[in-house]
Amino acid sequence: MEALKGRDFLGLTDLSAGEIQELLQLAAQLKAGKVKMQCSKVLGLLFYKASTRTRVSFSVAMYQLGGQVIDLNPKMTQVGRGEPVIDTARVLNRYLDILAIRTYEQKELETFAEYAQIPVINALTDWEHPCQVLADLLTIQECFGSVEGITLTYLGDGNNVAHSLMLGCALMGMNIRVATPPDYQPVADLVEQAQKIAAGKTEVTLTDDPLTATKGSQVIYTDVWASMGQEDLAETRIPIFEPYQVNEQLLTNADPEAIVLHCLPAHRGEEITDEVIEGKQSRVWEQAENRMYAQKALLVSLLGAD
């Protein structure tokens, strides 16, 4: 996809609806083996937080494209010892072709992108997790034939994943209902942004009632109640979030054909039960697999094929 070449992907709205649609199409073709692409470039992974799926799926995608990956573990690089981001970014820019960053503050990611001319990808910040949502959309498209008009219910914490889902659903013509405890709603500015995108087409709604939120919904989605960096709050949050657990009882409200998604890692017995994650409506393993294809399509589009 020529239009994406050289661009950053810092948040979902860096792509238009049409561009996301094209990326999903390319991802599906790559997955089906209908197209073969080569991209012999070098990807850097700078992750300040743990990762299994994002790290491995980006790496395998790059290797399969014929490229190389360098793990820039902050504990082993000078940026972890306090070398300024603006210096690190300008140096990495001269070595790498593309850089995926997982960090805390969105501002830090933006600073990297400002000082490095190569494409910079958000591999998760406290604000957004846009690569995850590309794979989520691909999974929904595979299950329902199209994403348009589908209603997704997100239950739990109004976190980075909730933010990207709201923007992704609004852009792609889906309805999204976000059910959280009253003090854990997504950030108001971002809700407003998603509602503006959806205006007159679909709905972006917030509620504290998990029952009305799930009624007739086709996609039930949850994530951890305490994200990376919030580990200290995990215990105190359990009783607050308990009513939002995705369990078999709650699922009976949803569309009988509803699928269940979770970005993983999951805390079984907290935000999702063992029965549901292992149950017949769960598509979490397909969803995790799709990270690789969505990101392969993203890499080849931002870099250009050989």
By CB under 6 A, is residue 227 in contact with ligand CP?
no
Looking at the Cβ atoms of 138 and 305, the one nearer to ligand CP is: 138
Pick from 240, 250, 257: which is nearest to 272 by CA? Answer: 250
| Residue of 88, 160, 193, 245 that binds ligand NVA (CB under 6 A) | 160
Residue among 88, 227, 287, 290 that touches ligand NVA (CB under 6 A): 227
Instruction: Please identify which residue in 8, 21, 51, 281 interacts with ligand CP, judged by CB under 6 A.
Output: 51
Binding residues for ligand NVA, total number by CB under 6 A:
10
CA distances from residue 45 to 58, 108, 120, 171, 175 in whole angstroms, order as listed = 9, 15, 10, 28, 33
CB of 124 to ligand CP, least distance (A): 6
Q: Which does 262 bind (CB under 5 to 8 A by kind): ligand CP, ligand NVA, none?
A: none
Structure token pair of residue 227: 């994200």
| Active centre residues (catalytic) | 102, 129, 132, 223, 263, 291
Stretch that binds ligand CP, among 27-35, 37-45, 48-56, 237-245 (CB under 6 A): 48-56
Among 131, 224, 272, 276, binds ligand NVA (CB under 6 A): 224
Beta bridge partners of 152: 176, 219
Q: What track of x and - describes contact with ligand CP for positions 110 through 149 (by CB under 6 A)?
A: --------------x-------x-----------------
Contact between 113 and 142 under an 8 Å Cβ cutoff? The reply is no
How far, in Å, CA of 93 to CA of 72, rounded? 13
Exposure string for 7-40, b = 16+ CB within 10 A, e = fewer = ebbbbbbbbeeebbbbbbebbbebbeeeeebebe
Q: Which is nearer to ligand CP, 41 or 102 (CB)?
A: 102
Beta carbons of 24 and 135 less than 8 angstroms apart: no
Other CB atoms within 10 A of residue 222 CB: 29
* 228 binds ligand NVA, rule: CB under 6 A: yes
- Interacting residue with ligand NVA among 10, 169, 263, 300 (CB under 6 A): 263
- β-pair partners for 98: 43
264 binds ligand CP (CB under 6 A): yes
52 binds ligand CP (CB under 6 A): yes
* Residue 207: Cβ-neighbour burial (10 angstroms; 0-12, 13-18, 19+): middle
Give the integer Cα–Cα distance in Å for 180 and 277. 20
Q: Which is nearer to ligand CP, 58 or 184 (CB)?
A: 58
Q: Which does 65 bind (CB under 5 to 8 A by kind): ligand CP, ligand NVA, none?
A: none
Candidates 198, 127, 132; CA nearest to 169 is 198
Candidates 20, 31, 43, 53: give the one binding ligand CP (CB under 6 A): 53
Instruction: Report which of 165, 167, 163, 51 is spatially closest to residue 103, judged by C-alpha positions.
Output: 51
Instruction: Give whichever of 4 and 46 is closer to ligand NVA, judged by the CB atom.
Output: 46
Interacting residues with ligand NVA (CB under 6 A): 124, 129, 159-161, 223-224, 227-228, 263
